[in-house]
């Protein structure tokens, strides 16, 4: 029983961390329509910079600044934002699939860099040995895992609340308008280039935060964690949950990560010994399958975006919130 509970805590912690990244992608794609195919680049940057800033000395390699954990985490998120500014400026004229391909390529380049820049990143062996916040104080591993879950959930709630506030403000309306039609928005006095870059950077900072938290949780990061599959998993979570809807993004994370973990368990217990190595690849197929099935039977996700989400002032507020999806079907 305790084994199951402690696994549940572990599962929920990872879910909360990934949900933060999915919320970041939801700001970029769900709200602003920016097709980021390199989520893992920003996630990974947050992870590496966090561990370099906050980690211990590593015999001759760069890093070991031993910054307090919150500062290291913030530094990682800021570095992801900095990367997003560079990427955003370089790809400012790209849209849709072209932008996706460019950002995907950038993520691959960063993974290759991390794998080879041994002095900076430890190369293929990664960086391990990180003292997690308050770990010395809470010496019971189960209690500590509970504490870390609470930490992740609190950060998730903060990100969720901040983003909800942002997308229900006039800024959110502006993001959606730019997503719907950039030329029209520009003709109505808006500056899509500025707003797109901002949304891209804010989303990347959130992904970097998730990455930093991820590296903290495992006290380890390696190029393995920057594999493209993570980008696809995060996309699947957003598509399944419902792009444009923050609650949907979190639900999608839970569902997809649940499927991933459950399928891994089933495969490892059913597949014969000699096929174990290949069983993992079936999970990759599963991610593709989940995306395709969702797009076929529920293209707007489990919790579709709602039509009107800007907070209405004044007494005439009718409170009418209709569902765009239902209207499209009529």
> In the complex, which residues of this chain contact another protein (CB under 8 A)?
162, 165-166, 169-171, 173-174, 176-177, 180-181, 183-191, 198, 202, 305, 307-308, 310-314, 316, 318, 320, 322, 324, 327-328
User: Which strand (E) or helix (H) includes residue 42?
Assistant: helix 39-54
**CA dist., res. 303 & res. 316, Å (int):** 27
Distance CA 325, CA 304 (A): 7
Nearer to another protein, 196 or 217 (CB): 196
Q: Min. distance of Cβ 170 from another protein in angstroms?
A: 4
> For residues 156 and 202, which CB has a smaller minimum distance to another protein in the complex?
202
Give the residue with the Cβ less far from another protein, 135 or 182: 182
**Got the DSSP string for 142-209?**
HHHHHHHHHHHHHHHHHHHHHHHHHHTSHHHHHHHHHHH-HHHHHHTT--HHHHHHHHHHHHHHHHHH
**Taking the complex as a whole, how short is the minimal distance between the CB of residue 136 and another protein, in angstroms?**
35
Q: With respect to another protein, which residue has the nearer C-beta, 183 or 273?
A: 183
Residue position matching structure tokens 């870390």: 148
Q: Specify burial of residue 265 (Cβ count, 10 A radius: 0-12, 13-18, 19+).
A: exposed
Which of residues 1 and 188 has its CB atom nearest to another protein in the complex? 188
Shortest gap between Cβ of 202 and another protein (angstroms)?
A: 7
Cα distances (Å, whole numbers) of residue 54 to 48, 73, 128, 242: 10, 8, 12, 35
Q: How far is the CB of 69 from another protein (least distance, A)?
A: 24
189 vs 272, beta carbon nearer another protein: 189
């Amino acid at each position: 029983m305790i084994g199951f509970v402690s696994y549940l805590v572990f599962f929920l912690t990872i879910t909360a961390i990934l949900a933060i990244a999915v919320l970041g992608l939801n700001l970029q794609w769900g709200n602003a329509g920016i097709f980021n195919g390199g989520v893992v680049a920003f996630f990974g940057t947050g992870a590496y910079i966090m561990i370099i800033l906050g980690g211990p000395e590593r015999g001759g390699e760069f890093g070991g600044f031993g910054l307090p954990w919150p500062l290291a985490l913030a530094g990682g998120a800021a570095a992801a934002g900095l990367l997003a500014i560079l990427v955003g400026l370089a790809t400012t004229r790209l849209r849709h699939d072209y932008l996706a391909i460019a950002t995907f390529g950038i993520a691959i380049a960063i993974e290759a860099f991390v794998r080879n820049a041994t002095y900076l990143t430890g190369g293929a062996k990664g960086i391990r040995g990180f003292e997690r916040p308050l770990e010395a104080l809470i010496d019971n591993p189960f209690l500590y895992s509970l504490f870390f879950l609470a930490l992740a959930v609190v950060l998730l709630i903060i990100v969720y609340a901040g983003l909800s506030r942002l997308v229900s403000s006039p800024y959110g309306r502006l993001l959606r308008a730019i997503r719907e039609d950039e030329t029209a928005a520009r003709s109505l006095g808006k500056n899509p280039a500025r707003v797109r870059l901002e949304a891209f950077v804010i989303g990347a900072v959130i992904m970097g935060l998730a990455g930093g938290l991820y590296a903290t949780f495992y006290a380890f990061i390696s190029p393995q964690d920057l594999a493209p599959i993570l980008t696809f998993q995060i996309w699947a979570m957003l598509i399944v949950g419902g792009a444009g809807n923050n609650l949907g993004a979190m639900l999608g994370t839970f569902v997809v990560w649940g499927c991933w973990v459950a399928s891994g368990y089933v495969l490892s217990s059913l597949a014969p010994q000699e096929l174990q190595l290949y069983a993992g690849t079936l999970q990759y197929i599963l991610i593709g399958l989940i995306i395709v099935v969702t797009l076929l039977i529920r293209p707007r996700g489990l919790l579709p975006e709602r039509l009107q989400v800007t907070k209405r002032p004044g007494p005439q507020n009718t409170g009418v919130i209709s569902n765009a999806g239902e209207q499209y079907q009529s």
